[in-house]
Structure 1
């Protein structure tokens, strides 16, 4: 064997050894990848994704995709080689683990949190769409969860509607928090709640919070709404998080209005939505743009506050347009379908 051959053999062996050792190193990062897309105007498991009872519905035409991000599972470790491959892939991203999974978060806790955020986004989408259509959708305060062993445990139940606190009607969760924390620990708070149509009056004695000593009774109030129309949204239960809210709202609006909003176009997007129709930022915008582009979408609706990040998105020929509200999303689609695109704003990626 020549000296050159020996050197190459040793170098090759060292590289193999380094690769083998690197595969055992776990890093405090996770990988974002383009995830699956779901057509919110289509079907899931043989049923329409958007199902409505109590109002007229109209035929839709086209594809309206919600986009997702694949993320390393909370119970999986990321090795160096996998991280390097992701770092070299323009459609993927390596991000610090604690930004996605706070320390101590289990896979089941992450799943439950994402499911809760999805349910909240669906509710907000329903309310935003109905309000855009002119429906009156009154707000209410609902008991979301009761802390085990707290004063409210066994007195209040998830799903109770909080009517008043100390005789004062409440309209938002903040009203409940302010009324309770106005007391000193050990004082009694009177709640009137509606449970399955029956009003109950309950007196609960407060205790001191561990962190700051404020008075509390131990339940989580959350916004609720009395919807005049029954809307059901059915999608793959592996999808979670709040980022499909804006697309859900557009799909509901299209389903409840005459004429096909998309007119056969393939459109995708992402964004949280409030009950008032405001579109908020999300994570993984670049991976969602790539997913939509790979699926053949022609237009991508992105939260305006994510627009700068979209510059790295693999959008191909797909146009990426920023939106701030549900109204923006609908008018953008209308303009795109009509071919009036000169005045449409674009994120840097388009």
Structure 2
């Protein structure tokens, strides 16, 4: 065989071997890409995303789209070829797998965590929206979770409303731990509660709870110090003067809070917030309307623009990163609070694009 032919054949075989290795060898990376975007004012899966009953609602127009990021699954292992393709691609982002799936958490734990974050974002969005409209919201302290094998297991349950501990009225979640840790391990602590089922029934029927129970628990020593504990996590819960349901499945994390809150305000007020314009956005929100940063901003802006968005409400702390690679035709609007977002929507309605607080790239 001629030397030239042998060399070419050897090179071809080496190339094939490298390609096979690239396909077969897993690498410790995962990929993020633009995910679905859903209009909070519209329908998803055949039913309205925001369902409000017991209060007057008004027609809306345009879009207030929440945005998402699609990530490779926890069980999926990228190969070298896919990683290189992702690095070279424009709209995707390849990141260390541990960024999305930490080694100290199982897939089930991560799924549970993102589901809880999504649920909490809905709760915060409702509270922030009603506060913005000066509609009173009731608050209470509940059992958020019960530790398996603890003194509270089988005695207290998630959703139980904690009225008092040792006769002292509970006003904030932190009050519970302060009162329990006044005891020494082995001593009894008394909880006065409204059982979860009765609390839920009372809220549904718009009445006061009809029954309370007193539960005595014997404290135990905390696993890492000498504190007395009973094995519960106390947290805040709210009661609303009317029903607000958010129907959106297969979404996790807290980043839709701002857009949910704006959608609720739009439906509860006669003013059309968007003026028929296509607005998308992202951002966490707390009960006082403070907007927080999120991950994957570059993918969210790309996903929003590909669906037709012209304006994108961007958390202040994400502005520089978003502006660094802004999709053509998309105006990035900086927001730090819900009030900021509403003021910007008013400018959009009036066609005052020059007055919008636009995001700028750093430097």
Q: What TM-score do you get using the length of structure 1 for normalisation?
A: 0.94
Supply the distance in 1 between the matched residues of 2:227 and 2:98 (Cα, whole angstroms): 29
> Are residues 313 and 218 of structure 1, via their aligned partners in 2, closer, same or farther at CA, if it must alter by over 3 Å?
farther
Alpha-carbon distance change, 16 to 152 in structure 1, aligned in 2, over 3 angstroms: same
Cα offsets for 1:129-162 (capped at 9, x unmatched): 0110111112211112211210011111111011
Structure 1 residue 124 and structure 2 residue 137: aligned?
Answer: no
Residues 104-124 of structure 1 deviation map (CA, whole Å, 9 limit, x = unaligned): 533333222222111111011
Contact in 1 for aligned 2:323/2:332 (Cα 8 Å):
no
Distance 2:69 2:90 in 1: 14
* Superposition pairs of residues 182-197 of structure 1, within 5 angstroms: 182-195=182-195, 196=198, 197=209
Choose from 315, 318, 331 the match for 2:330. Answer: 318
Q: Distance in 1 between matches of 2:348 and 2:3?
A: 67
For structure 1, the 5+ residue unaligned runs are none
Cα deviation 1:16-69 (Å, max 9, x = unaligned): 211211222222222111101111111123221111111100000001111000
Report what 2:251 is aligned to: 239
Task: Report the counterpart of residue 176 of structure 1 in structure 2.
Answer: 176
Contact 1:74 1:110 in 2 (8 A): no
Listed one character per residue, the Cα deviations across residues 220-276 of structure 1 (whole Å, up to 9, x for unaligned) are 2121011112101111x2111111011000000000000211111001011111111
Change in Cα spacing, 1:10 to 1:267, as seen in structure 2 (3 Å) is: same
The answer for the alignment partner of 2:201 in structure 1 is: none
Question: 2: distance between equivalents of 1:79 and 1:104?
Answer: 23
The answer to whether the Cα contact below 8 Å between 1:145 and 1:221 also exists between their aligned partners in 2 is yes
Contact 1:74 1:105 survives alignment (8 Å): no
Matched, 1:230 2:243: yes
Name segments (4+ residues, structure 1) moved above 6 Å: none
**Alignment RMSD, CA only?**
1.8
TM-score (norm 2): 0.91
SS in 2 for 1:27: coil
Unaligned runs of 5+ in 2: 199-208
Q: In structure 1, what is the Cα distance between the partners aligned to 2:64 and 2:75?
A: 32
* SS of match in other structure, 2:33: strand
> After the TM superposition, which residues 1-350 of structure 1 pair with which residues of structure 2 at under 5 Å, given as runs?
3-195=3-195, 196=198, 197=209, 198-235=211-248, 237-348=249-360
Counterparts of 1:268 and 1:349 in 2: how far apart (Å)?
20
- Confirm or deny: 8 A CA contact 1:290 1:313 kept in the other structure: no
1:170/1:97 Cα in 2 relative to 1: closer, same or farther (>3 Å)?
farther
Structure 1 residues 342, 219: CA separation in 2 closer, same or farther (over 3 Å shift)? same
Q: Is the contact made by 2:29 and 2:97 (CA closer than 8 Å) also made in structure 1? A: yes
Q: How many Å apart are 1:100 and its aligned residue?
A: 1.9
- SS of residue matched to 1:222: strand
SS where residue 78 of structure 1 aligns?
Answer: coil
